[in-house]
Chains A and B, each alone.
Chain A
Amino acid sequence: MTRLRHAALAAALAGSLVAAGCGSGFDDNGSTTTQQSAGPADLKIMIASSGDAETKAVQDAAAQWASSSGSKATVTPAQDIVQQLGQALAGSTPPDVFYVDAARFADYASVGALEPYAQGMEGVDSFLPNLRQSFTFEDKLYCVPKDTSTLALQINTDLWKKAGLTDADIPTSWEQLRATAQKIKAKNITPLAIGDTRDRIGAFLVQAGGYWVSPDGKQATGDTAQNVEALTYVQGLLKEGLAKYPKALDAGWAGEAFGKGKVAMTIEGNWIKGALTADFPNIKYTVKELPAGPKGKGTLSFTQCWGIAAKSKFKQQAVAFVQAMTSAEQQLSFSKAFGVMPSRQDAQATYQQQNPDDAAFVAGAQYAQGPVNAPKMDSVLADLDSGLQGLQTGDPKAVLQRFDKNAKTALGG
């Protein structure tokens, strides 16, 4: 019986060896990728679409580029781009061009998945400098931002009137924000809904003159006096019931609480426009710049870039494609189609003329701070978020110290 069992084991092993032989197609042949420098290409483009409007607009623009350049361009909207890209990169068959979120950018750049094509690209200086910084890794600009959004303060004008407030009460500083919020609360209205993540609360850090990491993304700078001041201020708002997290308002995100008319103010980005039009068309609101902190104005920017795979066979054509997608004209047509803000300085003036209500977002783009731009930080930042979720009863300094400790390990510094 044992002999039979041994034989079976041997056979199974032999079988898996044969299978391993078949699996040699897995092998890395990236080094021998043949470059097709000119002529027609077959570009695969993967996008993390915000919805049907974006998918269609990008598909149309790609089709137009394809017919004028004689190449083929296939646009695929991804369900979960991080996972789908991860699989494609592991299999050495990444799409030629894909969206890269600024928050994930360093992860891709650090493992060599991206081609640093933007280094010498023509007209690269037209893009907003702080956005370019978001896509710079180890002093190399890897890719160009496709568009941008910034955080601003949304005010529900009906509730504002109900609380007896006027335009003069629109807060422009932390003190005013607190004073106005107290007036609103006195009328039994929740003043402010703010998302419980670094991507919202981080704006207060910028206003206080601090941030989670150093500008080059190499050092954790959590535990500083400025950051403690900012978190203590936010904690004060939460403790006094002047601000609430969306979950406490039974909303998935702050925009939903705002749209349902549960709060007088919220802090969200450009995307709230589309969401409110779609889900809560009757709400009346106005958008203002975020109140300034002790160190002046500050907000956060969010952006994605057109990444080109280091393993793409058609890099030259891919760069041409990206150039076509990021021309001032094309960016303006995208912003008409799905409401994003152009990432080029030369397109922003026109954008502001076309969308006067977005003045606060456009103004923010000038001084906005991008996301944490360092690799391997995802779990550290997730841990930071769980600290921020408990900010109301927690200790701001402890949250920041914990972040520093974890970030140092991740950054290897």
Chain B
Amino acid sequence: MPRGIRGNERPAGWLFVAPALIILGLFMLLPILMALWVSLTRWNGQGSPFTGDVPFAGLQNYTRLFTDEGLARQDFMTSIRNNAYYVLLVVPIQTVLALALALVVNNRLLKGKGFFRTAFYFPSVTSSVAISVVFLFMFANGGAINAILSVFGINGPQWFSDPRGLIHLAFGDQAPALLADHSLLGLSWWDWLAGPSVAMCAIITLVIWTTSGTFMVMFLAALQNVPVQLEEAGLIDGASAWQRLRHIILPQLRPTTFLVVTLGLIGTWQVFDQIYVMSQGNPAKTTLTPAFLSYRTAFRDFDYGSGAAISFVLFLIIVVLTLVQRRLTRERD
């Protein structure tokens, strides 16, 4: 270690980063470790979980979610299924929509850019609880959405009380024997393949509408960094609008796309407030998500250990999926 003329700088360095380290340790690392401990116990919420009286459960809270037949596993797997369909629909649609909005707003010919930018971004800065309540009204049986549908002669569904999955709706209500008789982790194949329920679709619509504005801003920032010369060069070479988008602009946006998809994945796996406000997991558990299930298990059933275990499994799912996504979208050298 070279010594500068001012002596050893290492203690000073530690001193400078100490506030950040202490705050992060105290408010992030420590609570996470405490929650990890709780997830290994059968703490019932009485007094401190850090005494000898709290029964130690080992990995039981985790195995219950995967290996033991019962309601705990069934609820957990149902929530994973629901959330998976939710992510599969929300992330691609919101990313494409955000990009489309950004391209529109970035168009040099567009008049009133400021207005559209604000309009598209507005849902993102509004409280999600307020928006959820408004959507409850819109999707009511006699609400705006069904009124519009009825103009086109469509008899709209009872959005928030319809537990039927979209894939089930498409293929009819009767389960083929092959799918009904086989099961995986407590749910039959037929149940796994239900698709998002009608109620979940209403929530999906809401989330796409609110978050695409946020991601539009990110795409917009990136688009404004794309040099105009590149596009002009494409024009001179006779590239069509689609070719310019596909071969010039999109490659330039790759880091932003990665960011948007990653943030989208993380956010969608953690969906909670919309579920809490709009459906509480109903109808028939088709809007139950791991985050909400974790809350319900801990604070309604006083089963804090299982609740914490669910949130750690959710954490692992997010980490693994983000790593996979990173690998898939890595630039090939």
Chain A positions within 8 Å of B, measured between CB atoms, are 8, 11-12, 15-16, 19-20, 23, 26-28, 30, 82-83, 86, 89-90, 92, 107, 111-113, 245, 247-248, 250, 376, 378-380, 382-383, 386, 389-390, 406, 409-410
Contacts and interface: CB of A to CB of B under 8 A. Distances in A.
Q: Which secondary structure dominates where chain A touches chain B? A: helix
B21 A12 contact: yes
A79 to B, nearest CB: 13
B46 A11 contact: no
B214 to A, nearest CB: 29
B48 A28 contact: yes
B163 A390 contact: yes
B60 interface: no
B24 interface: yes
Residue among A15, A90, A111, A410 having the largest count of chain B Cβ atoms under 10 Å:
A90
Contacts of B72: 379
Contact of A111 (B140, B283, B302): B302
Contacts of A92: 47-48
Contact of B301 (A11, A26, A90, A107): A107
Contacts of A26: 48, 50
Interface string B28-50: 01100100000000001111111
A27 B52 CA distance: 11
B160 interface: yes
B284 A386 contact: yes
Nearest to A94: B46
8 contacts: A15-B22, A16-B30, A247-B158, A247-B160, A248-B141, A248-B161, A383-B71, A386-B285
Contact of B47 (A15, A20, A30, A378): A30
Given A15-B26, A19-B26, A389-B282, 15 more contacts: A8-B21, A12-B29, A15-B21, A16-B26, A20-B30, A28-B47, A86-B299, A111-B44, A111-B302, A248-B161, A250-B140, A379-B300, A386-B163, A386-B285, A389-B163
Contacts of A15: 21-22, 25-26, 29
Nearest to A245: B161
Given A27-B51, A245-B161, A86 B71 contact: no
Nearest to B143: A250
Given A379-B75, A409-B70, A250 B284 contact: no
Residue among B140, B160, B299, B304 having the largest count of chain A Cβ atoms under 10 Å:
B299
B117 interface: no
Contacts, number: 108
A331 to B, nearest CB: 30
A247 B284 contact: no
Nearest to A15: B25
B237 interface: no
A86 B50 CA distance: 17
Contact of A19 (B25, B45, B51): B25
Interface string B284-301: 110000000000111111
A12 B48 contact: no
A4 to B, nearest CB: 9
A30 B51 CA distance: 12
A379 B78 CA distance: 13
Contacts of A27: 48, 50-51
Contacts of B29: 12, 15-16
Interface string B126-151: 00000000000000111000000000
Given A379-B71, A379-B301, A389-B282, A89 B46 contact: yes
B161 A90 contact: no
Contacts of B70: 406, 409
A82 B295 CA distance: 12
A250 B24 CA distance: 48
A28 B161 contact: no
B53 interface: yes
B333 to A, nearest CB: 24
Interface string B1-33: 000000000000010000001101110011001
Closest 7 CB pairs of A and B: A247-B161, A15-B25, A28-B47, A250-B141, A386-B284, A111-B44, A406-B71
A89 B304 CA distance: 13
Given A26-B50, A111-B44, A16 B33 contact: yes
B25 A380 contact: no
Nearest to B1: A3
A271 B265 CA distance: 44
Nearest to B142: A250
A379 B295 CA distance: 12
Residue among B48, B160, B163, B296 having the largest count of chain A Cβ atoms under 10 Å:
B48
Contacts of B141: 247-248, 250
Contact of B284 (A12, A83, A389, A409): A389
Contacts of A89: 45-47
A20 B303 CA distance: 24
B21 A11 contact: yes
B303 A90 contact: no
A120 B274 CA distance: 47
A16 B71 contact: no
A107 B302 contact: yes
A30 B48 CA distance: 10
A26 B37 CA distance: 15
Residue among A11, A12, A248, A379 having the largest count of chain B Cβ atoms under 10 Å:
A379
Contacts of A390: 163, 284
B281 to A, nearest CB: 8
B30 A19 contact: yes
Nearest to A249: B141
A247 B141 CA distance: 8
Contact of B158 (A12, A16, A20, A248): A248
B45 A376 contact: no
Interface in B206-238: none
B30 to A, nearest CB: 5
Contacts of A380: 71
B301 A376 contact: yes
Interface string B242-285: 00000000000000000000000000000000000000011111
A28 B51 contact: yes
Contacts of B45: 86, 89-90, 111
A15 B29 CA distance: 10
A30 B47 CA distance: 7
A313 to B, nearest CB: 15
B161 A16 contact: no
